[in-house]
Amino acid sequence: MKIVILILVLIAIIVIFCFKLNVYNSNNTKMSKNKKTDIANSKPKKKAASNKIAFDSDKFLKIREGMNYNDVKAILGNGEKIKVQKPVDWINGYRWLNADKSYIEVDFRNNIISAKYLSYIDTSMNAKVSQKDFNKLSIGMTYDDVVKILGPGRLCTEHYGNNHGQAYSWINHDGSTISIILQNGKITGKGTSDLN
């Protein structure tokens, strides 16, 4: 029962994260205050201006389980320390922000990576997915099963640990989206946004 609740909470967090970014991209409106993903109100400090780097999903994919801040810094450069949703001494979050407001966020638990997030604002993914494609997806499928239907997706969130979780998205040119949540390699949740 505890595992089911943990999975549902993880799914909710990942889906909200992915959809909030898509809503911001589509509507250019502010997101709710006090959220970790609230980039509409994000104003980097003057020192952080020199930390703005150009990154892409290739650099995001180089960030792996077991890395510490210095390992990630070697890939992305210096990050801006950010507040995490539940501030405790042993969790630290960092953001790498581009001029177009796209970003990578990485959380560290006891100085080891626990999660990473990739925004997809102003994406150029241009997937070609439909409601019919979405209807072919079912709980329990693997990512490879999904790729056979939708093609490769964009990894936007990954959580490490005993219950390894990932969120992938397929974003059409009009901003409509299919997203899936994988828990230990199997689909545990799926969703759409503005899909025809």
pLDDT tens by residue, the chain, 196 residues: 445 444 444 444 454 444 343 433 333 333 333 333 333 333 434 444 444 447 777 889 999 999 999 999 999 999 999 987 666 666 889 999 888 788 899 999 888 999 999 886 656 678 999 999 999 999 999 999 999 999 999 999 999 988 899 999 999 988 899 999 999 999 999 999 988 7
> Which pLDDT does position 123 carry in this prediction?
60
Q: What torsion do the CA atoms of 137, 148, 104, 76 make, to the nearest 10 degrees?
A: 160
C-alpha closest to that of 41 among 97, 125, 112, 104? 97
- Its domain, for residue 21, covers 2-31+53-193
Asked if residue 38 is part of any domain, the answer here is no
* Number of domains the chain contains: 1
Asked if residue 64 is part of any domain, the answer here is yes
> Which pLDDT does position 58 carry in this prediction?
83
In three-state form (DSSP H/G/I as H, E/B as E, the rest C), the secondary structure along 157-171 is EEECCCCCEEEEEEE
Asked if residue 45 is part of any domain, the answer here is no
pTM over 0.75: no
Whole-number Å distance between alpha carbons of 27 and 8: 28
Asked if residue 145 is part of any domain, the answer here is yes
Asked if residue 186 is part of any domain, the answer here is yes
Q: The domain that contains 113 carries what CATH number?
A: 3.10.450.730
Whole-number Å distance between alpha carbons of 14 and 155: 11
> Which pLDDT does position 62 carry in this prediction?
94
Helix, coil or strand: residue 44: coil
Asked if residue 107 is part of any domain, the answer here is yes
Asked if residue 130 is part of any domain, the answer here is yes
Asked if residue 159 is part of any domain, the answer here is yes
